[in-house]
Amino acid sequence: MPDEPSTEPVDTGYTADGVPTFESVREKIETRFSTSIGSAELAAETPEGRSLEDQYDARQKAAAERLAQIRQSMATDRDDDAH
């Protein structure tokens, strides 16, 4: 009968002492993580997000080129010292 009170306790996510249950904590963490991932994906799709990604890629390329120059310079210095 629908008018009968339910004998099952309602899962509030907290124990009788007011401590959050493991399940409620896990659910809250997963929700926040999913929201964060979704926000990052949406932000990457905006023109500003793509621009930042392009800037990051350009910096990475410039850093790799500079590192190669430094390594080449060090190798040349080492060869000069050996003679």
Domain for residue 14, yes or no? no
Q: What is the pLDDT of residue 83?
A: 66
- Do the domain assignments include residue 13? no
- So what's the pLDDT on residue 9? 66
Q: What is the pTM of this model?
A: 0.47
The answer to whether residue 76 is domain-embedded is: yes
Least confident of 9-13, 41-45, 57-61: 9-13
Task: Write down how long the chain is.
Answer: 83
Residue 53 in this model has a pLDDT that exceeds 90: no
Range of the domain at 72: 22-81
Asked if 13 and 24 touch (Cβ cutoff 8 Å), the reply is yes
Question: Does residue 64 lie in a domain region?
Answer: yes
Distance CA 47, CA 36 (A): 19
Q: How many domains does the chain have?
A: 1
Average pLDDT over residues 7-27: 87
CA dihedral (61, 65, 67, 72) in degrees, to 10, reads 160
68-76: list long-range contacts, CB under 8 Å, 24+ apart. none
